[in-house]
Structure 1
């Protein structure tokens, strides 16, 4: 069994080694907190890193946003608001200071100051969530903002060489003689879906797990050239974990857009109030950990038989 982790946007401050370490740290915290152990002989990990590919493109020149089209006061102020929000970067954590989800912290006692900070962050995330829901009805405007603030998505949609370079790196992790679990986060879920659609049925995907996926958004769907369908190599089930507090993953994957059988198993979870979209909240979540662990254990027991 091979477990393939596919990351999302804004990973350029990492390299392949630090990316793998960070995700393994978060994953191991989830295993430890759920009192679960994995036998390393039964599976292998793969962490295809593509953040470095972005640095080889002059993406600033690829962005052409005509802000003159945005005439309304709300949208005039929106880019500067998003720019300030994006600049609130949080440094990569080590194993010791990756925060634990509230699910594991039974004796949390927040100071009054921290409570106000959390409430403020929650209000900001809710505002962004409402804005994204509104933008979902205006895909042209939504795409203009994507061009400005999400360079990876812009390049992935409009630069075939960039897209192919990413696909090649991820596809190289698959082996037609092996079974796989694919776990993807954020923009990585869009990439993973496209890669799985390109793979032949000779590849065996035992479980596809999407975390914080923007696939249901109209702005993403306009770049999916065929109607959404179940990947040919997906032998098992598709689990989608989303959070209503996460402004980039507001919607579940349901019909009519995701109208195929077996149905996607949508799981609503809660992550961090102050960082609802980050992998640190999804990959250590007990529901996600159990979803991965149960498939590995079933496979391991089959090996014994």
Structure 2
């Protein structure tokens, strides 16, 4: 059996790494049982690099407003532009019109159709919050964390040092990455996977924000990691963090990525890892990759 590497996303601070790992494994087994199969995965074959505490300084209370998330973080102008571009992408994907954004503005006279016009961004966030199932806070936090992971060498180094230890040169590893973890996994495999002789016959990304236009541009030039075999991307269409499929339009790499958009994630924000690993199709795909990569 191949090694299994699980790479988590944000908002995992102040948690016990072993318990969090077990939550992932339990969710995977639940998904397999739904498919009427199961797989015994020896604990020593599972690696769970934990970097949640590193992001603690970025975490905010879930009740905070999206505007406060941005203000409290003291973002640079480049970061504000990045967040604004991501918000524009989300608003368009959610079918929010310019009229909706103007109606949500505190002072409509200050609105211009320009992501560098901060009143427009704040109004767009307010309009997003009015759509059932969408969360402006989730968008603000997710995009900010991606930006700081990519642009802040201190944060990136600590996160990647831990993730790097999960890989062993020449050893086949199936990687399952959630949310921000999918950005970390992709970025590291593309940049250093071949040099470090990592062998990843299968990558499964769930709830990935890589298809958000601003994030894709932030990682340019994009390309398929040389150390990677199959890439399977699963998402719930109502997961605002996983805004777009990783296809030729939103994340063009060759060979292309296989997308699965039928996950019905039952967690409150449609983004929780238990809802993704509990999907029987996703769970079976991981199981098959662990055994030999074949689809049964």
Whether TM exceeds 0.5 here: the answer is yes
Aligned to 2:290, which of 281, 288, 296?
Answer: 296
Q: Which residue of 2 aligns with 1:71?
A: 119
Once the two structures are superposed, the pairs formed by residues 52-131 of structure 1 within 5 Å of their partners are 52-55=53-56, 62-64=73-75, 69-72=117-120, 75-76=122-123, 78=125, 124-125=132-133
Residue 261 (structure 1) aligned with residue 254 (structure 2) = yes
Q: Which residue of 2 aligns with 1:26?
A: 27
What SS does the corresponding residue of 1:222 show, helix, strand or coil?
Answer: helix
Give the Cα–Cα distance (whole angstroms) in 1 for the partners of residues 142 and 43 of structure 2.
41
Superposition deviation, residue 271 in structure 1: 1.6
Instruction: Provide the TM-score with structure 1 as the length reference.
Output: 0.69
Superposition deviation, residue 157 in structure 1: 3.1
Once the two structures are superposed, the pairs formed by residues 168-207 of structure 1 within 5 Å of their partners are 168-201=161-194, 202-207=197-202
| Gap runs ≥5 in structure 2 | 61-70, 81-109, 111-116
Give the Cα–Cα distance (whole angstroms) in 1 for the partners of residues 43 and 49 of structure 2.
20
Q: Which residue of 1 aligns with 2:270?
A: 276
Give the Cα–Cα distance (whole angstroms) in 2 for the partners of residues 57 and 71 of structure 1.
23
Give the Cα–Cα distance (whole angstroms) in 1 for the partners of residues 162 and 283 of structure 2.
26
Q: Residue 220 and residue 158 in structure 1: after superposition, are their counterparts in 2 closer, same or farther (change >3 A)?
A: same
Once the two structures are superposed, the pairs formed by residues 209-248 of structure 1 within 5 Å of their partners are 209-226=204-221, 228-234=222-228, 236-248=229-241
Equivalent residues, number = 243
Give the Cα–Cα distance (whole angstroms) in 2 for the partners of residues 80 and 250 of structure 1.
17
Q: Which moved more, 1:180-189 or 1:32-41?
A: 32-41
| Contact 2:178/2:207 (<8 A) preserved | yes
| Gap runs ≥5 in structure 1 | 86-122, 133-141, 301-305
Superposition deviation, residue 257 in structure 1: 4.5
Give the Cα–Cα distance (whole angstroms) in 1 for the partners of residues 124 and 187 of structure 2.
34
Q: Could you give the per-residue CA deviations for residues 52-96 of structure 1, whole angstroms, max 9, x where no partner exists?
A: 112368998752378995334x834836986xx9xxxxxxxxxxx
Q: Residue 287 and residue 53 in structure 1: after superposition, are their counterparts in 2 closer, same or farther (change >3 A)?
A: same
Give the Cα–Cα distance (whole angstroms) in 2 for the partners of residues 266 and 215 of structure 1.
13
What SS does the corresponding residue of 2:241 show, helix, strand or coil?
Answer: coil
After superposition, the CA RMSD in angstroms is 3.4
Superposition deviation, residue 151 in structure 1: 5.1
Instruction: Provide the TM-score with structure 2 as the length reference.
Output: 0.71
Give the Cα–Cα distance (whole angstroms) in 2 for the partners of residues 197 and 254 of structure 1.
17
Give the Cα–Cα distance (whole angstroms) in 1 for the partners of residues 76 and 25 of structure 2.
38
Superposition deviation, residue 293 in structure 1: 1.1
| Contact 1:179/1:203 (<8 A) preserved | yes
